[in-house]
Amino acid sequence: FFKKEGAGFFEQTTFFAPALAGVGRHEVRYEYFEPSNPTCVGVDLRVVEVVAPPQIFFFNLFDDYCITAPPTTLTASPEGGVIKINGVVNNLFDPVALGAGTHLVEYLAPINGTPCPTVLKRTVRVRQPSDIVINYVGLRPAYCVGIGGFTIQVQSIIGGVGVMTIDGIVSTNRFFNTETLGIGMHIVNYTVTIPGGCVNNKITTIEILPRPTVSFVNLKNTYCNKEPAFALQALPAGGTFTVNNVISPTFNPSALSAGSYEIKYNYRDSNNPTCTNEITQTVKIGIAPTATISTVANEYCQYGIAEIQPQLNVVYGDGTFTTLFPPELRFRLEDLPAGDYTITYPLTDPVTGCVSIFSYTTKILPATLVNFVDLKESYCREGLPTLLRANAMGGVFTIENEAVTALNPANFEVGEVVNILYTYAHPTSKCPTFVEKSITIVDNPYLTTFEKHRLCPLFPPDYFIEAISETEEADLIASGITPTYYWSNGAGNVRKLKIDKISYNGTSEVFVRDANTCPVAKRVFEIKIDCESKLFVPDAFTPNDDNLNPTLKLFGEYVGKLDFKIYNRWGEVVFTGSKITDAWDGKIAQKPAPAGVYIWQASYENLAVRDTRVRRQGKIVLIR
């Protein structure tokens, strides 16, 4: 039978487990009953003591050291043992003498009669700056201005913390912007610091080149349709020619009809593909026309086109080509009532002097005069979509032959001219009326800023994020801009937003726009909601009347209903606390407690998360 001393009972068992028995003295009793005579009993007693293993640890030993670090004299607890480095008794850890690599540090604590293990082993690495290998990924020695910017990718063998500077200025996002840096040489330096203090860096230079200058060679603005084909040339050579967006290294006027042709030359530097440029020239082909009238249709809807300017294409007897725009034939549809009209004009051959009368009949059908309502001359590309309106609704708005109800500037490029056509049918004649307007997509540069916030909105103080400051808002209003705020998280038109929900965790964006919905500024917020309760207990204090760390103080956040206890080596409670402000003065029953290692246990409620308790324990060293 097994009996724990002082428990007052016997527990029958066939094994002895020190971990289950616990620290203290225990009585083991063996009783034997004679099978043939149960009244005959034999008893043997033995008292066994279970002792606690010693608390063995180094005071000032780290996992990593740089080879340039100064020597460190190692100490450990409990005192009186032996420190070995790589099997040799030595308590001086000198990275320079040991050299780069992995080293075994052991502490052989004094046995003091205990049967428990008394050896502590630690593996420590000594590194040197050359261990840090830094490579730039896919980085070219030169880029052309005009490509915008890109993030420089870096690979570092053996992690660590890296810092990049571009021309001596720290770049937290490693963004290399060819526009803001400008043409010339730029120095990129990436420095990595790894645990243990080793530092290495890699410097490279990047040149920003100007865009190449391109030009056509001997390309005229006008050609006759009888001229032969010729090879297109431009400087520098090696690019691609297109004629009306079709790739063609030659231009053949004799194979083309009369009209204008857009010839483009696109050049890309073979040594640096980021350097490109393009040039465009419009070339006309002249051909002997027939005697026809253009820009005039057989029928018109009233108000469909504001002004009609007839164009007469005349072929004279000698085959020369003339285009006439007789001013007396010009007419405005809105000036004429609906009906049939005949256009007549005399044509004279300048060589023969012969005269002929040109006659053409057209008809004007009744229609409704329509106009756009509140359609501006220009829109910024990053403005919000604008609903298209006209004085007579019910028709169809089209952009590039596609029916639309709103203008979305984001669908176009900066500088692009967008033609908007509105078609409306006359209610009785069903004759459509057209109104057309060209608007320009403009740039509206604005600043994008980034902010990071780590907070818990469940407790004071209140937290706010601002689209712009009050001063910035006042400056905008003073300049004639009334700002409007568009939050990605659905908040209303407010300048600042109170962060009072855990659901705000993540990324939020806000655009500040003017009365034309053009962005004035953009701010991106990275919000980290951290409502984790925290309790910090120092690992040592010195209540020796020198006023340096005289008490063991607790520190924490969101800690409630605290139950804090400190135990001595015999498992006795020497201090209890129920508030984060409670501190132990190193006394037991008003007497100084002995120096040594003590165990603490804490149980407390996480005030940030309802009905959640946290349990932790650790050790402290009382030093005198």
Residues 66-105: pLDDT tens digits?
Answer: 998 899 999 999 888 999 999 999 999 999 999 999 999 9
Name the DSSP letter for residue 20: H
d(CA 116, CA 54): 7
* Distance in Å from the first CA to the final CA of the chain: 46
The pLDDT-based confidence of 6 (bands split at 50, 70, 90) is very low
H-helix segments, 66-137: 95-98
Write the pLDDT tens digit of every residue in 118-165.
789 999 999 888 888 899 998 999 999 888 899 999 988 776 788 999
Write the pLDDT tens digit of every residue in 397-414.
999 999 999 999 999 999
Buried/exposed 51-70: b ≥16 CB within 10 Å, e otherwise: eeebbbbbeebeeebbbebe
Does residue 2 surpass a pLDDT of 60?
A: no
At 510 the pLDDT is: 93
d(CA 24, CA 543): 30
At 429 the pLDDT is: 79
Per the CB < 8 A criterion, the answer to whether 274 and 147 are in contact is yes
Average pLDDT over residues 489-512: 88
d(CA 162, CA 173): 11
Buried/exposed 131-158: b ≥16 CB within 10 Å, e otherwise: bbebeeeeeeeebbbebeebebebebee
Sign of the CA dihedral with 232 first, then 237, 241, and 247 last:
positive
pTM of the model: 0.36
Determine phi and psi for 32, rounding to 5 degrees: -120, 130
Q: Determine the residue type at 415.
A: G
Per the CB < 8 A criterion, the answer to whether 235 and 215 are in contact is yes
Q: Which residues touch 169 (CB under 8 Å, ≥6 apart)? A: none
Buried/exposed 411-444: b ≥16 CB within 10 Å, e otherwise: ebeeeeebebebbbbbeeeebbbbbeeebebbeb
Does residue 3 surpass a pLDDT of 70?
A: no
Q: Determine the residue type at 453.
A: H
Could you write out the three-class secondary structure of 485-543? EEECCCCCCCCEEEECCHHHCEEEEEEEECCCCCEEEEEEEEEEECCCCEEECCCEECC
Beta pairing class for 339-348 and 331-332: unpaired
At 349 the pLDDT is: 65
Q: Which residue has the higher pLDDT, 496 or 545?
A: 496
Neighbours of 239 (CB within 10 A): 20
At 303 the pLDDT is: 73
Closest-CA residue to 295 (of 257, 339, 343, 262): 343
At 288 the pLDDT is: 39
Per the CB < 8 A criterion, the answer to whether 333 and 302 are in contact is yes
Count of alpha carbons within 13 angstroms of residue 614, beta-carbon side:
20
Longest CA–CA span in the chain (Å) reads: 160
Sign of the CA dihedral with 216 first, then 222, 225, and 226 last:
negative
At 395 the pLDDT is: 92
d(CA 555, CA 602): 12
d(CA 69, CA 197): 8
At 351 the pLDDT is: 59
At 314 the pLDDT is: 85
d(CA 541, CA 244): 84
Does residue 584 surpass a pLDDT of 50?
A: yes
Average pLDDT over residues 455-473: 83
Closest-CA residue to 186 (of 171, 208, 202): 208
Average pLDDT over residues 300-319: 79
Does residue 315 surpass a pLDDT of 50?
A: yes
Does residue 222 surpass a pLDDT of 60?
A: yes
At 10 the pLDDT is: 62
Cα 303 to Cα 337, 362, 370: the distances in Å are 10, 15, 8
Does residue 5 surpass a pLDDT of 50?
A: no
Average pLDDT over residues 443-447: 89
Average pLDDT, the chain: 87
Edge-to-edge strand order for the sheet containing 299-301?
299-301, 355-365, 339-348
Q: Which of 23-32, 404-413, 512-521, 613-622 is predicted least confidently?
A: 23-32
Residue 172 Rama label (left phi>0; alpha psi -120 to 50; beta): alpha
Edge-to-edge strand order for the sheet containing 292-294?
292-294, 311-315, 321-324
d(CA 398, CA 401): 5
At 224 the pLDDT is: 66
Q: Which residue has the higher pLDDT, 159 or 26?
A: 26
Count of alpha carbons within 13 angstroms of residue 179, beta-carbon side:
5
Does residue 502 surpass a pLDDT of 90?
A: no
- What is the residue whose two structure tokens read 């696109």? 266
At 226 the pLDDT is: 66
Neighbours of 100 (CB within 10 A): 18
d(CA 145, CA 178): 5
Per the CB < 8 A criterion, the answer to whether 358 and 421 are in contact is no
Which pair of structure tokens corresponds to residue 79?
């005192």
Q: Determine the residue type at 379.
A: Y
Average pLDDT over residues 252-280: 89
At 430 the pLDDT is: 83
Per the CB < 8 A criterion, the answer to whether 290 and 276 are in contact is no
Which pair of structure tokens corresponds to residue 434?
């057209």
DSSP H or E segment with residue 393: none
CA geometry: angle at 598 spanning 594 and 602, to 5°? 140
